[in-house]
Structure 1
Amino acid sequence: MPRAGLPEQQDAPTEQVVAGLSRNSVAITASFDGSDILIYGAIKRETPIPPGPPLEVVVTLEAPTQALTVWQKERKLGIWLNAESVEVGAAPGFYAVATSGPLDQILSPEWDSRYRISLPLALRAFGGGLNVEDAVPYTEALIRIREANGLYRLDEGSVKLVDQTLFRADIRLPANLIEGDYKTRIFLLRDGEVVDVYRAPIEVRKVGLERWLYRLAFDQPLLYGLMSLAVAVAAGWGASAAFRRLRRA
């Protein structure tokens, strides 16, 4: 599995992650209602456990990023309309953070900025110039909306760490996942600093009928539209026929 180098560290770290995932792929079917990923591992050392603050572990799971626009609604003449907006250059479709302790206590802001671990820093860039004085309320609103939909999650204390050597984290994937190559990162921390990073990919793909309809919509949009229209007409006719039978009964 790929391992990330630390920006200020040329030699191999004295503590390293040795980890695995319960599965490295997720199949989205018509009946898909979510999935659980178990991330487990151990800390490899050539020397005894260092003295001082205990070891902490942070696990992140990130979906592919997409550009999007966050709008502010304003009520004009009794109607809610889009007003000012902020373009976010890269926002993950799903982002989960699991930690062995309170994130703001085990991770320093400096190292958070380097690796963009916390939820606000997962939104990587703004697209184009800002048309508002302060973009923070817009990104906070985006995080709140996606947290409510189960797409952004911070699970503090959910990583089980035994004797600063063995760890495990259970991350729940929601039903409304998007396709793509997801990124898992495992961080070892001491005294707020990252001492090692481990990365592993997870492939999320639609399969079966879901996959066929998904590809049809992109590869042959005209045929997909005609099929959708035919299904809508058939459903409407069927509902009308059933209603007429009920009235006659």
Structure 2
Amino acid sequence: MIRALALMLALALPVVAQDAPAAQEVIVAGMSQNRVSITADFDGSEILIYGAVKRDAPPPEGAGPLEVIVTVEGPSGPVAVRRKDRVAGIWINNASVRVDSAPSFYAVATTGPLDYILSDVDNLRYGITIERMIRAIGISDEADKAGEFVLALLRVRTDEGRYRVLEGKVELTEDTLFRTDVVLPANLTEGEYKVRLFLLRDKRVIASQERVIGVRKEGLERFIFNLAQEQPLVYGLLSLALAALAGWGASAAFRLMRA
């Protein structure tokens, strides 16, 4: 009996060795800054995202080339998308749908074309492309051709610079070091911006890491924001007073110019 067990163990050992997992590759990453302050003269910011691939052994023979994807995602929230139609010679909002959730900002930078380096399965699993980050459940019941509303949202926010696809903008050196620059626009939404990094081989994600950039209003911007949120009546009265003062100033200047 003991001899039979020993024989079975000896036969099993080569199989275990043959099926041992491949060399693990992990991400060691950093950013030029993890905090962005929105002030009165804020006109955008550029974030350098860099890193290296740490391995415990050389990559297995026959493995596909290494690829890197970096995404930066701003705070998400519901969005009402409206369509204007011409009725009786006047353009009016004739139909609308409510998108459950869409990121206020989203950028995806890659080492190559997304279609060539990322599979549909892993895109669905990790939610990497912009389309996968927009949740619009049940909008087909709200309007005809509801899919066109989502396309319109993508088009508008792309034109505004809030959605960006930066294919080929991740520099990868010797399958080890990588870096990319992501420009954050001036119209940022306050909150936490999630940075995700993915390593891929053969269109499959083999490693990932997540970091956070904090975006916060400071100075006068913070004072006005807090005033509007905490004391809306005072904020409204102050806005009316400033508008009246600006109107009086413009009128006085006009009278001086005519004199």
TM over 0.5: yes
Letter paired with 2:72: L
Unaligned runs of at least 5 residues, structure 1: 1-10
Is 2:197 aligned against 1:186?
Answer: yes
Residues 35 and 215 of structure 2 are in contact (CA less than 8 Å); yes or no, is this contact kept in structure 1? yes
Residue 132 of structure 1, CA deviation? 2.8
Residue 124 of structure 1, CA deviation? 2.5
Letter paired with 2:252: A
Letter paired with 1:204: V
Which of 206, 217, 220 aligns to 2:217? It is 206
Unaligned runs of at least 5 residues, structure 2: 1-20
Counterpart CA distance in 1 for 2:134 and 2:22 is: 30
Q: Percent sequence identity over matched residues?
A: 54
Question: What corresponds to 1:67 in structure 2?
Answer: 78
Question: What corresponds to 1:172 in structure 2?
Answer: 183
Letter paired with 1:58: I
Question: What corresponds to 1:23 in structure 2?
Answer: 33
Which of 117, 120, 134 aligns to 1:109? It is 120
Counterpart CA distance in 2 for 1:117 and 1:177 is: 21
Letter paired with 1:39: I
Question: What corresponds to 1:222 in structure 2?
Answer: 233
Counterpart CA distance in 2 for 1:181 and 1:151 is: 15
Which of 229, 236, 246 aligns to 1:235? It is 246
Compared CA separation, residues 196 and 170, structure 1 to 2 (3 A)? same
Residues 140 and 146 of structure 2 are in contact (CA less than 8 Å); yes or no, is this contact kept in structure 1? no
- Which secondary structure state, in structure 2, belongs to the residue aligned with residue 144 of structure 1? helix
| Cα deviation digits, residues 3-29 of structure 1 (max 9, x gap) | xxxxxxxx8971111101111110000
- Which secondary structure state, in structure 2, belongs to the residue aligned with residue 222 of structure 1? helix
Is 2:58 aligned against 1:48?
Answer: yes
- Which secondary structure state, in structure 1, belongs to the residue aligned with residue 141 of structure 2? coil
Q: Which has the larger radius of gyration?
A: 2
| Cα deviation digits, residues 219-249 of structure 1 (max 9, x gap) | 111100000000000000000000000100x
Q: Kindly tell me the number of residue pairs found equivalent between the two proteins.
A: 238
Question: What corresponds to 2:99 in structure 1?
Answer: 88
- Which secondary structure state, in structure 2, belongs to the residue aligned with residue 132 of structure 1? coil
Compared CA separation, residues 226 and 12, structure 1 to 2 (3 A)? farther
Residue 127 of structure 1, CA deviation? 6.3
> When you count helix as a share of all residues, which structure comes out higher?
2
Provide the TM-score with structure 2 as the length reference.
0.88
